[in-house]
Amino acid sequence: MTESDFITQLFRKEVLSLTAYKVNDASGLIKLDAMENPYHWPEPVVHDWLVRLKDSELNRYPDPEARRLSATIREIYGIPDQFGILFGNGSDEIIQLLLMALSPEARILAPDPGFVMYRQISHSLGLEYCGIPLRATDFDLDLPAMLEAIERHRPSIIFLAYPNNPTGNLFNEHAVLEIIQTAKGLVVIDEAYAPFANASFIDRLGRFDNLLVMRTLSKLGLAGLRLGYIAGNPDIIGQLNKIRLPYNINSLTQVTADFALRNSVLFGQQTQAICDERSLVYDALNRFDGITAYPSAANFILFRTPENRATPIFESLQSQGVLIKNLAPQGGLLKNCLRTTIGTPAENQAFLTALSNSLS
Ligand SMILES: *Cc1c(COP(=O)(O)O)cnc(C)c1O
What DSSP assignment string belongs to 18-56?
Answer: --PPP----TTSEE-SS--------HHHHHHHHHHHHT-
Q: Which atom of ligand 1 sits closest to the CA of residue 88? A: 7
Residue whose CB lies within 8 A of the most ligand 1 atoms, among 117, 119, 212, for a mutation test: 117
Please write the tens of the pLDDT for every residue from 38-81. Answer: 999 999 999 999 999 999 999 999 999 999 999 999 999 999 99
CA 220 – CA 246 distance, rounded (Å): 26
pTM for the model: 0.96
**273: how many CB neighbours lie within 10 A of its CB?**
16
**Residue with CA at minimum distance from ligand 1 atom 2:** 192
Q: Does ligand 1 have an atom closer than 6 angstroms to the CB of 92?
A: yes
* Helical H segments across the chain, by residue range: 3-10, 13-17, 43-54, 67-77, 91-100, 116-124, 143-153, 173-182, 234-243, 251-261, 264-287, 310-319, 345-359
According to the model, what pLDDT value does residue 54 have?
95
- Closest C-alpha residue for ligand 1 atom 12: 192
Ligand 1 atom showing the smallest separation from residue 217 Cα: 7
Q: What is the pLDDT of residue 184?
A: 97
What are the CA-CA distances from residue 112 to residues 33, 104, 130, 182, 334 (Å)? 20, 23, 9, 19, 10
Q: How far is CA 206 from the centre of its chain?
A: 24
Contact assessment for residue 182 and residue 150, using Cβ atoms and an 8 Å cutoff: yes
Residue whose CB lies within 8 A of the most ligand 1 atoms, among 115, 120, 157, 222, for a mutation test: 115
Which tens digits make up the pLDDT trace of 193-225?
999 999 999 999 999 999 999 999 999 999 999
User: Residues of the chain whose pLDDT is less than 70?
Assistant: 1, 3
Q: Is the CB of 165 under 6 A from ligand 1?
A: yes
Give 297-317 pLDDT, tens digit per residue: 999 999 999 999 999 999 999
Least Cα distance to 118 among 94, 138, 139 occurs for 94
**Residue 243 CA to ligand 1 centre (angstroms):** 20
Is the C-beta atom of 89 inside 6 A of ligand 1? no
**CB atoms < 10 A from the CB of 144, how many?**
9
Q: Is the CB of 161 under 6 A from ligand 1?
A: yes
Task: Report which ligand 1 atom has the smallest distance to the Cα of 228.
Answer: 7
- Burial class from Cβ neighbours inside 10 Å (0-12, 13-18, 19+) for residue 238 reads exposed
